[in-house]
Structure 1
């Protein structure tokens, strides 16, 4: 993700941040370079095992957005990256407010391939159609619906502020194949079907973009960030 996203999401003087639904630590690794105390909360034990290897200096806890094993007013900031759609807003927002100090920041961010760029859209369309053909059933050829409801602020938080950024990252063909494989419709495939799709996508990248081996291309990305502040006088 772009550094500007964290510049905008983290409050000045942030001493403690919670990375909620931290996964394997993609955001956590960025936070340890910026914040003195980082707490990662993740419900999946396999994810926590990987995260512990990636970020041994981080305090790692089991938990969910609806129930975090943290005391009241523990954090200056709490961030959720690419996971808000898994959470129950009505139960999560009071719990997030409980964990944040008064005036603390709650931030949500999403990173996606930038489908406003023509070649990225064509790659996306090719890959989705290929998954349908290979799977035979159960995989949609439609573009993913990224319209996730924004967090409801109510009386606990200030109105949401929003920041949209575009950026790019240098990637090889193998890395693009790996990124495409994290899509929901890819995860639904059998191992055999996924392998077949990966091979065809790699061939597409070679034929259409001349991309193979160690050669890299800048992959356009889009980042959307939302930020709100915990109202000091509102009781969760």
Structure 2
């Protein structure tokens, strides 16, 4: 994906902020705890926080959390859902916080949008020594047969290059983190871990969830309707998904690195 395409996808979510808040899943609590495990203190930045899916999980764990989000519509949803959380307008490339002001920087389904050449030094600047940078991604568990079929039917629009475990492992094996030894701060070696997760859905609500993915949002209307129609037909034919509520099998993948 070139720079212009990346920016188009990254900026697509605001138009669907309400649907994003309603349908996107949270993150496995064990994954959030693992991401924070090496952090030297409770001050956490949720960077490019969207509508607050990860922010809410951090607050529930008792973290002293600050959210930063560039899109006004997404930020409005976050502030409405979590009025007790300090939520600021900003981006990964321009973080509105002082130097060494947080013990951890977490990003939920967002780090792949960062321009890490700029964001890396910014993240290092706001992180205290010993602090943790971690990205979390919710993945569709395509080790389950019907989920694998859904991934094939949905294609690249609904199932992106890091939305299944194998693809995520390859795509995040250090590619979106500051380089080890990079100025102005050193980072240790990245670690990956995966945690079982799931989301209760119906066929209609799963289609609505997939409709909030960037690969779908940027499609022309006719192509978007066709892609979602194929997914809806598939779900209507499968015994696991055709009748009422079901659990979408997922994993939360975490990539973390510590500032030395």
> Aligning the two structures, in what range does the TM-score lie when normalised by the shorter sequence?
0.7 to 0.9
Alignment correspondent of 1:227: 256
Residue deviations 1:36-95 (CA, integer Å, cap 9, x gap): 421101111111111111111111111111211101111111101111111111221111
Whether 1:126 aligns to 2:142 is no
Cα RMSD after superposing both structures: 2.3
Alignment correspondent of 2:192: 162
- The CA distance in 1 between the partners of 2:49 and 2:158, in whole Å, is 28
1:152 corresponds to which of 159, 178, 187:
178
Question: What TM-score do you get using the length of structure 2 for normalisation?
Answer: 0.76
Please tell me whether the aligned partners of residues 76 and 101 of structure 1 are also in contact (alpha carbons under 8 angstroms): yes
More helix by share: 2
SS across alignment from 2:66: strand
SS across alignment from 1:78: strand
* 1:1-236 matches, cutoff 5 A: 1-11=27-37, 14-128=41-155, 144-146=160-162, 147-148=171-172, 149-155=175-181, 156-191=186-221, 193-195=223-225, 197-209=227-239, 211-212=241-242, 215-231=244-260
Gaps of 5+ in 1: 129-139, 232-236
Question: What TM-score do you get using the length of structure 1 for normalisation?
Answer: 0.83
Residue deviations 1:170-193 (CA, integer Å, cap 9, x gap): 211122111221233321234455
- The CA distance in 1 between the partners of 2:253 and 2:205, in whole Å, is 22
Gaps of 5+ in 2: 1-26, 163-170
Please tell me whether the aligned partners of residues 79 and 107 of structure 1 are also in contact (alpha carbons under 8 angstroms): yes
- The CA distance in 2 between the partners of 1:50 and 1:36, in whole Å, is 20
Return 115-124 or 74-83, whichever deviates more.
Answer: 115-124
The structure with more radius of gyration: 1
How many equivalent residue pairs? 219
Alignment correspondent of 1:136: none
Residue deviations 1:83-134 (CA, integer Å, cap 9, x gap): 1111111221111111111111111111121122221121122233xxxxxx
Please tell me whether the aligned partners of residues 158 and 216 of structure 2 are also in contact (alpha carbons under 8 angstroms): no
